[in-house]
Structure 1
Amino acid sequence: MSKFNKRRSGAPSALTATHEGGTAYVRDTRSELVLLAVVHMVGEDTFYESAADRDNRFADLVHTVAVEDGAWTARFVAWLRDDAQLRSASLVAAAHAVWARLAEGRHGDNRAIVAAACRRADEPGEFLAYWTATFGRAVPKPVKRGLADAVRRLYTEKALLKYDTDGHAFRFADVLELTHAAPDPDKPWQGELFRHALDRRHGRGEHVPEALPTVRARAALMALPEAERASVVTGACGPGILARAGMTWEALAGWLQGPMDAAAWEAVLPSMGLMAQLRNLRNLDRAGISDQAAAQVIDRLTDPEQIARSRQFPYRFLSAYRAAPSLRWAHALEQALAASTANVPALPGRTLLLVDTSASMRGTVSARSKVTHADIGALVGATLAQRGEQVDMFGFASGHFRHELPAGGAVLKAIEAFCARLGEVGHGTETVAALRAAYEGHDRVVLVSDMQAFRHPGGEALGVSVSEAVPASVPLFGVNTTGYAPSALDPSRPNRFEIGGFSDKLFTMMELLAGGESARRPWEK
């Protein structure tokens, strides 16, 4: 008997209770894995679940599904990393999937699962660090081969300069030596890059080959006396010099050995990625960059194609809006948020939208973020409300309140206005009561919550369920922000659907709202 297959994938929903005692259901294994994975910040406590319990549940789900179907798992890991943009969750999923499959004697697909989790040049090293810390120093061949595939795809000069640092347990050379990765024959410079990575790891990196111009340019900058460095930044050619040397803003700050003033920021801005610019809006204002320089950032934030390529979580724009001390960015951030949620479907007819504001929704999505689950709910709600024909938006906890959203208004301001009301209706989660009070013949209901409803009196031993709170003929869509094992929504019933996530792919999956039919998972098409 398999030691990992503890539950049958595809089993019908089982009646249980939420963490607050309300009627709840346990999903089939794949559905539980997907819903947890798209909101899983590895190593993070949540309101009802410790980091250890949550990580262990995630690993157990991965073990079961991976042993059953390696090809499905490989496609899912690729989607989780590429589309859902969950770096840590996809890496951990891949590692546990391959470990479980090898323990059960399952071969094939393992190499592809490992490679699918690595989409940035520091991730092969991250994978090895996680593998050896979790499963021991022995690294199986499928892991080595999958990492070697990733290395050939990802290792570049700029990646070497950015990620190959003493702070990493596995540097580029360590990964190369362990995986025996050969350079990509279509990249003639990669052989020199691999050799140089080995040389610099072992103290032989003084000579930089001609085939590595970016590394050579960085070496030339590092050789400059400190007294001459500021003049490079302020010179007319400064931005070009920094770009050719692959200089990030963090590297520039260290190189200057002093504060990043306006001139330093303006010199490095053209070569910064959009995510780095977004996270530094406050620093740019504090340094006093010119309006001309700020326009470079604004132009990127207002370019839908660049927003799409940046793959930012929509809530990053909310976080930047709150962090930036001036209003010079507000309109651009509003446009960026609109571009990042452009695939939200139009909602014909009347829509009832309920956003959970209970105590469990007021925790942050991760220890490093100030954005809460209630913020996510408000963002989803305000965005849907702007796209729908007629949307009635309510917040609820122990009670409920109606929140008016002006048609065509700014979403960021609407989110802030909603979040200012979080304390109006207590701390509980009276989901059924709120649904029954607010529903008035709507064409659909959207519920944004962690799905941990309190018990509602009447009916069954556990009380009336959320799924029964509106007529069975009315589509009820649950947007789950946390992915706990029990859910107040029963997705096995007709017209009851549950999705989750933080990326723009949440809205892609919400396309089912328009038609009222369950969509196949993207990696299953």
Structure 2
Amino acid sequence: MAKFNGTGARPVGRGPIASEQVPSGLTHEGAPGYARDAKSELFLLAVSNMVGEQDFYEDADERDARFRSLVHSTAVDDPDWFAGFVRWLRTEANMRSAALVAALEGARARVEAGEHGRSRQMVDAAMARADEPGEALAYWTGRYGRAVPKPVKRGIADAAARLYNERSLLKYDTASKGFRFADVLELVHASPAADKPWQGDLFKHAIDRRHQAEAPIPEGLGVLNRSAALRSRADADPELLLDPEALRSAGMTWENALSLAGDRVDKARLWEALIPSMGYMALLRNLRNFDEAGVSDGVAERVAAKLADPGEVARSRQLPMRFLSAYRAAPSLRWAHALEKALGHCLENVPRLDGRTLVLVDQSYSMGVRLSKRSDLSRAQAAQIFGAALALRCADADLVQFDNTSEAVPVRRGDAMLKVVERFWGARGGTETAQAVRDHFGGHDRVVIVTDEQVWGGYRGQEPLKAVPPQVPVYTWNLAGYRYGHGPSGESGRHTFGGLSDAAFRMIPLVEAGRSADWPWAR
């Protein structure tokens, strides 16, 4: 009789996030904890780490120290893997601070090890916005002083040449910043890009205005000259701020326009003038202001069309939680459909799975920690988004929320994701994952658990993955990046992925196809 080659034999895929197969530690709540290898632990921590933020089970200093330690070892041991990771972390996982700190700490570790190669490129790759060279220097000097190694300087200089322009100077070079554009340019000795003939004048003016408040603007810098002229004239005639083309050509930000106008012009008309030149994130965060000012339905329709456009969503690099936050903040329902479509585009990597799927969403008390000090959303709400997205895209799904109890969350074909999210409890009790699995598993083809993995080790404590038959794959979507996981990962149908974006979801179909899913930047 065949021992292995029966009718149910199927190829088993492998995942990149690997752990030990026998637990060596404990979760923060006392259940058996599985340690991961350094790359896997770094990946899961980075894709959920806002840096410098207090967490439920780790204080900010402890979490950041663990992050730095993992970065230091990995950047030295495998620089090729690490360089791809940093670029992906910033450009696809959309983790701004984590990518910046990873690149800087990785470069430092390599310099100290006598390995200078790749550091310059890593540092440059971690920056995608013009305020980030200043952020990089603020982090470095705040931690290591003003002695900046050449590879770090050159990486920051490359980013400055790539990102600095007239509009970014107006938006980000403000007195509220400890490191202004001039400070960056003088410290890293950035040279103007060869294909940007105007950048020499821009760099010189950035330095001049840092040291002389009334520094004249070179004639070749048209946006800055138009901005200065509009500001001067608007002091006497604020109605000039109601001209959309004048605002656009002067690079006027919505913050500056509102400040200049004060209460001297109608707010609805001012917003309607500003909206054509506002970026995606600015539109998303101001929906409440548009409603409160009374922006017309015609203008609102144009805003909604931009919010729902898949290309605009992709370019905006917004995390899914931004759309839920905007939906909750906006007082009217005229944005709801656009935000629902935008959220769907943002989650395009969430797979459409055949068969029956059990989706378990952790709503325990530890999941109630806010994603960052500036966020009004919690890890529990991020879990709700991913759980709802999976359930709505699966051919046949049972969506369940759990803490120390559990219950089904109703999902019907055609439901709006934002409405499904409203059916969850929110964070409250303990983390009895295994009990939730036992109560709701019934011949499903797979199980997906969205969680921080900090299973309780109390009287009903059991390793959650052991409650599922070994031939049924279990995917854990980790939203916290703690050191120990609730089960093994990387083989035998047990896999862990994670993050606050949808970027790593594309690995699941590869595993289901019996293939080895590589790191997402290595595809």
The reply on whether 1:279 has 2:285 as its aligned counterpart is yes
Q: Which residue of 2 aligns with 1:446?
A: 448
Residue in structure 2 matched with residue 215 of structure 1 by the alignment: 224
Q: Is the contact made by 2:455 and 2:486 (CA closer than 8 Å) also made in structure 1? A: yes
> Residue 19 of structure 2 contacts residue 34 of structure 2 at CA under 8 Å; is this kept in 1?
no
Confirm or deny: 8 A CA contact 1:249 1:272 kept in the other structure: yes
Which residue, out of 100, 121, 128, partners 1:91?
Answer: 100
Which residue number in structure 2 is paired with residue 3 of structure 1? Answer: none
Q: Please tell me whether residue 242 in structure 1 is matched to residue 247 in structure 2.
A: yes
Q: 2:495 aligns with which of 488, 497, 505?
A: 497
Q: 1:270 is matched with which residue?
A: 276
CA offset digits 1:150-205 (Å, max 9, x no partner):
11111111011111111111111111111111111111111111111111111175
Alignment of 1:164-313 (within 5 A): 164-203=173-212, 206-224=215-233, 226-229=235-238, 231-234=239-242, 238-258=243-263, 261-313=267-319
Question: Which residue in the other structure is 1:53 paired with?
Answer: 62
In structure 2, the residue matched to 1:21 is 30
CA RMSD of superposed structures (Å): 1.8
Decide which moves more: 51-60 or 196-205. 196-205
SS at match of 2:187: helix
* Cα-to-partner distance string for 1:254-288 (whole Å, 9 max, x where unaligned): 22234771111111100101111110100110111
* CA distance in structure 1 between the aligned counterparts of 2:204 and 2:262, rounded to whole angstroms: 30
CA contact (8 A) 2:18 2:489 kept: no
Tell me, in whole angstroms, the C-alpha distance in 2 between the residues paired with 1:509 and 1:202: 51
Question: Could you say what secondary structure the match of 1:181 adopts?
Answer: coil
**How far apart, CA to CA, are the structure 1 residues paired with 2:19 and 2:501?**
28
Alignment counterpart, residue 389 of structure 2, candidates 379, 383, 389 = 383
Normalised to the residue count of structure 1, the TM-score between the two structures is 0.93
Provide Cα deviations, 1:376-430, integer angstroms capped at 9, x if missing partner: 1111111111111110111111111112201111110110112xx347xx61111
Unaligned runs of 5+ in 1: 1-8
Moved more, 285-294 or 488-497: 488-497
Inter-partner Cα distance in structure 2 for 1:305 and 1:139: 38
- C-alpha displacement at 1:523, in angstroms? 2.2
The partner residue of 2:420 within 414, 417, 440 is 414
Structure 2 counterparts to residues 327-338 of structure 1, below 5 A: 327-338=333-344
1:398–1:429 contact (8 Å) kept in structure 2: yes
Deviation at 1:291, TM superposition (A): 0.8
Deviations 1:17-61 (A, max 9, x none): 100011110100000000000000111111111111111111111
Task: Give secondary structure in 2 for the equivalent of 1:491.
Answer: coil
Deviation at 1:514, TM superposition (A): 4.8
Partners in 2 of 1:382 and 1:376 — Cα distance? 10
Instruction: Name the count of aligned residue pairs.
Output: 505
Counterpart residue type for residue 339 of structure 1: H
| Correspondence list, 1:318-467, <5 A | 318-418=324-424, 421-422=425-426, 427-455=429-457, 464-467=462-465
User: Larger deviation: 278-287 or 508-517?
Assistant: 508-517
- State how 1:55-134 maps to structure 2 within 5 Å: 55-134=64-143
SS of the aligned residue for 1:224 comes to helix
- Deviation string 1:275-332 (CA, Å, 9 cap, x unpaired) is 1111010011011111111112111122112112111111111111111011111111
For the Cα contact (< 8 Å) 1:495–1:516, is it kept in 2? no
Contact between 1:347 and 1:514, CA under 8 Å: does it hold in 2? Answer: no
Moved more, 282-291 or 93-102: 93-102
Alpha-carbon distance in 2 for matches of 1:467, 1:344? 22
Counterpart of 1:314, as a letter, is: P
Is 1:140 the counterpart of 2:149? The answer is yes
Question: Which residue does the alignment assign to 1:6?
Answer: none
Cα 1:129–1:422 change in 2 (3 A) is: closer
Q: How far apart, in 1, do the equivalents of 2:508 and 2:203 lie?
A: 44
CA positional deviation for 1:368:
1.4
Aligned-residue identity in percent: 50
Unaligned runs of 5+ in 2: 1-16
For the 8 Å contact 2:351–2:393, the answer to whether it is kept is yes
* In structure 2, distance between residues paired with 1:507 and 1:310: 19
How much has 1:479 moved relative to structure 2? 0.5
For 1:220, give the aligned amino acid: A
The TM-score, its normalising length taken from structure 2, stands at 0.93
Structure 1 segments of 4 or more deviating over 4 A?
Answer: none
What is the CA distance between 1:513 and its match in structure 2?
A: 6.2
Is the contact between residue 360 and residue 402 of structure 2 (CA under 8 Å) also seen in structure 1?
Answer: yes
Secondary structure of the structure 1 residue equivalent to 2:121: helix
Q: Partner of 1:24: helix, strand, or coil?
A: strand
In structure 2, give the amino acid aligned to 1:315: M
1:410 is matched by which residue type in structure 2? Answer: A
Question: Do 1:475 and 1:516's aligned partners in 2 also have CA atoms closer than 8 Å?
Answer: no
Cα deviation for residue 450 of structure 1 reads 0.3
Matched, 1:163 2:168: no
Which residue of structure 1 lines up, in the alignment, with residue 13 of structure 2?
none
